[in-house]
A and B are shown apart, each in its own frame.
Chain A
Amino acid sequence: MTLRATSPAFKENVREALSDVQLQKALGGGLGFTEQRRRAAEKLPEFEALRDSARDIKNHTLAHLDLYLEAYEERVVATGGQVHYAVDAEAARTIILDICRTAAAKTVTKGKTMIAEEIGLNDFLEQNGVVPVETDLGEYIIQIRHETPSHIIAPAIHLNKEQVEEDFRRVHTHLPPDRNLSEPATLLAEARAILREKFLAADVGITGANFLVAETGSSIIVTNEGNGDLTQTLPKIHIVLATIEKLVPTLEDAAQLLRVLARSATGQEMAVYTTLSTGPRRPDDPDGPAQYHVVILDNGRSAMLGGEFQDMLRCIRCGACMNHCPVFNAIGGHAYGWVYPGPMGAVLTPSLIGVDQAGHLPNASTFCGRCEEVCPVRIPLPRMMRSWREREFERHLSPATVRSGLAVWAFFAKRPRLYGLATGIAARALSLAGIFTGRLRWLPLASGWTRYRDFPVPQGATFQSQWKRRKR
């Protein structure tokens, strides 16, 4: 079992999101990332070539994933670490809990990891007597709100600072109630002071991984807060939680991917911290964990290899596709109903939890193509959303009204002469209906249109019939 999906209720989620005043305020100004990405890309002449190279590195790795996984495991073991393979979420949770229990762990600090969201790790640890503490500021905020991330790199992007202030006052009751929390800097300072204690007290640190390097057995994380470093160096045990597609062959490959990652994500040349961890503390190291574990999760990904959706495994989780998505910017991330929102989620979620659960997601796109335009590893996201729609159509999962409407339309569209007769009648009827106004405020079978928009009436006869007359 993975995190429960509300994706089947997508339309209700959307209505809620659109009527959520705070959310709309948070989304309203745009995320600011798009302009920063554009500037970063323009400043680097080789950016487009780097995207090609990033795509090729990932394609090569996926084509030889078995070899690179073996090589990676060998290196991790050689440096004194352990590798655990988890076929699904339950296996991964069990492995992690066992490691925590062996160390009699009471608290676990966590760096930002979407995989932990995917396997519902926090709730599971809590139910089993281990307290997880999120240390990324955004993750910490949503943890105390009992929410899930709404964006893969900016988990609390749906919130305003006033909401955060309210939460801090509600949870940090040991602090003076009259303290000033009106500025982002004061909120940050308070979180920082609280988290510092947690870092020092934690028995286990869990981080995700942006890349696993086969050449050296290293895992790489990028953060802007440095919380990842404290999470993985202070506790006795460091657990890296990653999925199979995070593999890259060499450090050089990782460096190339890093050059497109932050630029695509936030427009930074590099994230503030890029941290490599390789095995447990060696005898002459000044610090580091005594145990180093890597949990490598599959959870449906190996089934994507060699198939129509393999390209999706190139994703390096920069979030550019959602930053640039008009649909994401209208509804935010929670409406998608599972871990991964936006265009990448619209393709990945059906692969991982089934298209019968997540069928709305690949349909809720205008196919504007902006996601593919900015994807650092050139994933053809619209094409793959269309592939999902084709599967839904084949499996008769699309709504009956859509199917029957399409069948009637197709009957005429395949017969241009009949089509001309039908549109001729429609054109006349509609133009008569709107003869005094030029537009209609209500149109049968198109209430989705006229609920929000007027519909222009036809000018008169169809173009083709007028053209024929002109030619005579």
Chain B
Amino acid sequence: MAEPEPDGGRKTEGRPKRVGLFVTCLVDLIRPSVGFAAAKLLEDAGCVVEVPLQSCCGQPAFNSGDRATTREIAEAVITAFAPYDYVVAPSGSCAGMLKTHYPELFHGDPNWPPKAESFADRTFELVSFLVDVLGVEKVSSRLDEQTPPRHATYHDSCAGLRELGVKAQPRKLLAGIAGLMLTEMRDPDVCCGFGGTFCVKYADISNAIVGRKVDNIAATGADLLLAGDLGCLMNMAGRLQRDGKPIAVRHVAEVLAGMTDLPPIGERSTGRRPTR
């Protein structure tokens, strides 16, 4: 499949694509296995994956109105990822920040706009990168050794859906996994109530929103909830667990990479390190 997006004018034919993995601060801290799953999926698709030193995309500052801090962070991220053909993040929210909001930060600046634009052009959310850019049709992961078959439902995280058009791609790859059945929940495209700092600043509203979300999840009868953003997943998992609803919650990359041997989000660790 041809590449629909420019890769910053870099020639990648004849050599493996060099991908800088933007792991996201939540995956880095809370759930490294999502980072390893992303790396595995990218490497299986023929990419060379590297992880430059990084902290966060800057959304906490950006969404709190602190533009100066956001810009400093954006400059550091753009510089750190300058050497790579592509920048890939296992999060629609962070990838959306990098791709759609970074260029806005430099309007009117004499030097940064071309760098920010080139960076934005090369940046992708993980699953849409696999499908839309690398042309991946099917992943090797399977779940049919498990009985009964896993019954999953997929939540569309807002930024991935509306800023980056991530909707069909994860469903396409999930449909190819033997032993996995997907049931759509009511309003899969309605926010889960996470919203970054919103979920603690307006905890009461956030709780009301996630309450409806977990009702819709539970109504599907699924025993596995998937999404592409760890923030949303932690929010939904945290509420499902508080309510005592026995639904496993995972990042979609873990299932696509066949890394479901680790405990789901918020379940007890077996003490093992994620392995490849």
Q: Which positions in A face B, CB cutoff 8 Å?
A: 11, 14-15, 18, 326-327, 330-331, 363-370, 372-373, 386, 388-394, 398, 402, 406, 409-410, 412-417, 419-420, 423, 426-427, 431, 435-439, 441, 446, 448-449, 451-464, 466-467
Asked whether A389 and B63 contact (CB < 8 A) given A326-B191, A459-B30, the answer is: yes
Asked whether, in the complex, the Cβ of B65 is within 8 Å of the Cβ of A368, the reply is no
Contact B158 A464 (CB under 8 A): no
A453 and B191: CB pair below 8 A? Answer: no
Q: What is the bound-complex CA distance between A436 and B270, given in angstroms? A: 9
Contacts of A367 in B (CB 8 A): 63, 158-159, 195-196, 198
Pair B198/A439 contact, Cβ less than 8 Å: no
B127 close to chain A: CB less than 8 A? no
The chain A residue with its CB closest to the CB of B238 is A453
Q: Tell me, rounded to whole Å, the shortest Cβ–Cβ distance linking A12 to chain B.
A: 11
| A262 to B269 CA separation, bound complex (whole angstroms) | 53
Q: Please, which residue of chain B has its CB at the minimum distance from the CB of A24? A: B208
Q: Of B163, B208, B209, B234, which is in contact with the most chain A CB atoms at under 10 Å from its CB?
A: B208
Give the complex CA separation of A7 and B62 in angstroms.
Answer: 24
Residue numbers in B under 8 Å from A459 (CB-CB): 30-33, 262, 269, 274
Knowing A326-B191, A419-B55, A438-B267, the reply to whether A370 touches B158 (Cβ < 8 A) is yes
Residues of B within 8 A of A417 (CB): 53
State the Cβ distance, A457 to closest chain B Cβ, in Å: 8
Residues in B neighbouring A326, C-beta threshold 8 A: 190-191, 193, 209
Q: Which residues of chain B are near A454, meaning CB under 8 Å?
A: 237-238, 241-242, 266
- CB contact between B56 and one of A370, A413, A436 (< 8 Å): that residue: A413
Across the interface, do B266 and A439 meet the contact criterion of CB distance under 8 Å?
Answer: yes
A109 CA / B266 CA spacing, docked (Å): 59
Q: Which of B65, B206, B235 contacts A390 (CB 8 A)?
A: B65
Chain A proximity of B89: nearest CB distance (Å)? 12
Choose among A388, A389, A459, A460 the residue with the greatest number of B CB atoms under 10 Å from its CB: A459
Using a CB–CB distance below 8 Å, which chain B residues touch chain A? 23, 25, 27-33, 35-36, 39, 51, 53-56, 58, 60-67, 69, 72-73, 76, 80, 158-159, 162-163, 189-191, 193-210, 212, 234-235, 237-239, 241-242, 262-263, 265-269, 273-274
Across the interface, name the chain B residue whose C-beta is closest to A445.
B200
Instruction: Write out the residue numbers on chain B whose beta carbons fall within 8 Å of the beta carbon of A458.
Output: 29-32
A466 touches B273 (CB 8 A): yes
Given A417-B53, A449-B238, does the pair A368, B29 have CB atoms closer than 8 Å?
no
**B62 cross-chain contacts in A, Cβ below 8 A:** 386
29 pairs, CB–CB < 8 Å, chain A vs chain B: A11-B204, A14-B202, A14-B205, A326-B193, A327-B205, A327-B209, A330-B205, A331-B205, A366-B194, A366-B206, A369-B159, A386-B65, A388-B65, A398-B64, A406-B69, A410-B69, A413-B25, A413-B61, A419-B55, A437-B268, A448-B200, A448-B206, A453-B207, A456-B266, A459-B269, A460-B32, A463-B51, A464-B28, A464-B51
When chains A and B are docked, how far (Å) is the Cα of A48 from the Cα of B199? Answer: 33
Residues of chain B contacted by A463 (CB below 8 angstroms): 23, 27-28, 32, 35-36, 51
Q: Which residues of A contact B32 (CB under 8 A)?
A: 458-463, 466
Are B65 and A460 neighbours in the complex by a CB distance under 8 Å? no
Bound form: Cα–Cα A457–B72 in Å: 30
Give the residue name and chain of the B residue nearest to A19 (CB): B204
Kindly list chain B residues whose C-beta atoms are within 8 Å of the C-beta of A451.
203, 207
Q: Which residue on B lies nearest to A372, using beta carbons?
A: B162
**8 Å CB contact of A393 from B25, B64, B72, B205:** B64
State whether A366 touches B193 (Cβ < 8 A). yes
Which residues does chain B contribute within 8 Å of A412, judged by CB atoms? 55
The one of A331, A409, A419, A438 in contact with B268, judged by C-beta atoms closer than 8 angstroms, is A438
Contact A414 B269 (CB under 8 A): no
Using A365-B198, A393-B66 as known contacts, say yes or no to A460 and B269 having CB atoms under 8 A apart: yes
Chain B binding site: helix, strand, loop or mixed by DSSP? Answer: helix
B64 adjacent to A406 (CB under 8 Å): yes
B53-A416 in contact (CB<8A):
yes
Q: Which of A11, A394, A436 contacts B65 (CB 8 A)?
A: A394
Distance, CA A466 to CA B51, complexed state (A): 11
Name the residue on A nearest B53 (C-beta).
A416
> Contact: B200 with A364, CB < 8 Å?
no
Contacts of B263 in A (CB 8 A): 438
Q: A366–B238 contact, CB under 8 A? A: no
Residue of A nearest to B162 (CB): A369
| Chain A minimum-CB-distance residue to B268 | A438
Residue of B nearest to A417 (CB): B53
**Are B203 and A455 in contact, with the CB atoms below 8 A?**
no
CA distance A449 to B239 in the complex (A): 10
Complex Cα distance, B66 from A391, in Å, reads 9
Q: Whole-angstrom distance between the alpha carbons of A12 and B56 in the complex?
A: 33
**Contacts A18-B204, A438-B266, A464-B51 given; 7 further ones with Cβ under 8 A?**
A330-B205, A365-B195, A369-B159, A370-B189, A439-B241, A455-B234, A463-B35
- The residue in chain A whose Cβ has the minimal distance to the Cβ of B93 is A367
Bound Cα distance A363, B266 (Å): 29
A441 to B201 Cα, complex, angstroms: 18
Bound Cα distance from A369 to B100, whole angstroms: 13
A431 to B263, CA, bound (A): 14
Return chain B residues, CB-CB under 8 Å to A415.
55
- Inter-subunit contact A455/B238 (CB<8 Å): yes
Complex A-B, nearest 4 residue pairs according to Cβ-Cβ distance, in ascending order: A366-B195, A453-B238, A393-B65, A448-B200
Q: Contact at A416–B238, with CB atoms within 8 Å?
A: no
In the complex, what residue of chain A is closest to B32 when comparing beta carbons?
A463
Give the distance to chain B from A423, nearest Cβ to Cβ, in Å: 5
Q: Among the listed B191, B202, B262, which residue makes an inter-chain contact with A368, where contact means beta carbons less than 8 Å apart?
A: B191
Taking CB atoms, residues of chain B closer than 8 Å to A368 are: 158, 162, 190-191, 195
Residues on A with C-beta less than 8 A from B203 are 448-449, 451-452
A461-B208 Cα distance, complex, nearest whole Å: 33
- The answer on a CB contact under 8 Å between B66 and A413 is no
Q: How far is the CB of B78 from chain A (nearest CB, A)?
A: 13
Complex CA distance for A80 and B15, rounded to whole angstroms: 78
A427, chain B: closest CB distance, angstroms? 6
Write the nearest CB–CB distance from B273 to chain A, whole angstroms. Answer: 6
Query: Which of the listed residues A391, A414, A431, A455 has the most CB atoms from chain B within 10 Å of its own CB?
Result: A414
Residues of A within 8 A of B29 (CB): 423, 426-427, 458, 462
Q: Which of chain A's residues have a CB closer than 8 A to the CB of B23?
A: 463-464, 467
Chain A residue at smallest Cβ distance from B58 = A413
Q: Which residues of A contact B67 (CB under 8 A)?
A: 390, 393
